[in-house]
Amino acid sequence: MEATLYTPKGAEAKKITIPEAVFGLKWNADLVHQVVVSMNSIARNNVAYTKNRGQVSGGGKKPWQQKGTGRARHGSIRSPIWVGGGVTHGPNNLKNFDRKINKKMKAKALYTILSAKYKKGEVLFVNDLTLRVIKTKDAKDVLSSLSGVSGFKDLMNKRKNSAYIALSTKDTTTEKSFRNLGNVVVDEIRNMSPLDLMKYKYVVISNPEQGLSQISEKLGSKKVGVEKKVTKTAKATK
């Protein structure tokens, strides 16, 4: 597959080849839903906790006798129907919301979302987004220039969750330059996850010729290792 590579000024640089296994997949809603819901469940911060009737203090004595008072029967002031009593079926922070996600499922969901965004024209490849000085104005100028690319006019105007900028390597200067812009986030491409892609509309990939190799190997890295072991064993047999 071929895609257009742009400069930070928004001009076309050249054509590049992108992996079809990453950007040419069909949409799989069931897979994406399962992975995204599981990741949200894992990230859940479980802090809410309520006491049941067995944990509330007091209430050892029966409030009043069973009969003869004209009032309803009660056995303890810790009952859930009493003010200050225990809570029935309340939240408990001891509950574990973790869900298992296979690595292949997570990688396939990542590729599926990237393929869908690429078909919609929401993936932009830039040859280099490295900024030499920590300056928000320079980062804003880059976004303004890239918003001139066809289909990316909302890159600068969208107030929230505009773009996920993926860098091929760690670059603190560039990250700090974009930090004051609340509608974008900057991270390394190897940290890209399905949750990030579902949250932000556009995906801007810097230096794709180097960066795409880091995510395209998520499914094939183990296979390569097996092939190497088999080769060494075959040589030893000979």
Domain ranges of the chain: 2-44+99-224, 46-96
The DSSP bridge partners found for residue 16 are: 3
Share of the chain above pLDDT 70, in %: 92
Q: Which pLDDT does position 59 carry in this prediction?
A: 78
Residue of higher predicted confidence among 1 and 72: 72
Sheet arrangement for strand 2-6: 12-17, 2-6, 123-126, 202-206, 163-167, 184-188
pLDDT tens across 104-141, in order?
Answer: 999 999 999 999 999 999 999 999 888 999 999 999 99
Q: If DSSP states are collapsed to H, E and C, what string results for the chain?
A: CEEEEECCCCCEEEEEECCHHHHCCCCCHHHHHHHHHHHHHHCCCCCCCCCCCCCCCCCCCCCCCCCCCCCCCCCCCCCCCCCCCCCCCCCCCCCCCCCCCCHHHHHHHHHHHHHHHHHHCCEEEECCCCCCCCCHHHHHHHHHHHCCCCCCCHHHHCCCCCEEEEECCCCHHHHHHHCCCCCEEEEEHHHCCHHHHHHCCEEEEECHHHHHHHHHCCCCHHHHHHHHHHHHHHHHHC
Q: Is the dihedral of CA 98, 102, 107, 112 positive or negative?
A: negative
Q: Which pLDDT does position 220 carry in this prediction?
A: 62
136: phi then psi, degrees, rounded to nearest 5: -65, -35
Q: Which pLDDT does position 232 carry in this prediction?
A: 45
Q: Tell me the average pLDDT across 171-188.
A: 93
Q: Tell me the average pLDDT across 194-223.
A: 84
Share of the chain above pLDDT 90, in %: 72
pLDDT tens across 53-63, in order?
Answer: 999 998 788 99
pLDDT band at residue 231 using 50, 70 and 90 as cut-offs: very low
Q: Which pLDDT does position 101 carry in this prediction?
A: 92
Q: Which pLDDT does position 224 carry in this prediction?
A: 34
Query: Mean pLDDT in the chain?
Result: 88
User: Does 152 have pLDDT greater than 60?
Assistant: yes
pLDDT band at residue 69 using 50, 70 and 90 as cut-offs: very high
Q: Tell me the average pLDDT across 179-188.
A: 92
**CA–CA separation, 167 and 8 (whole Å):** 13
Query: Which CATH code fits 2-44+99-224?
Result: 3.40.1370.10
pLDDT tens across 71-92, in order?
Answer: 999 999 999 999 999 999 999 8
User: Does 207 have pLDDT greater than 60?
Assistant: yes
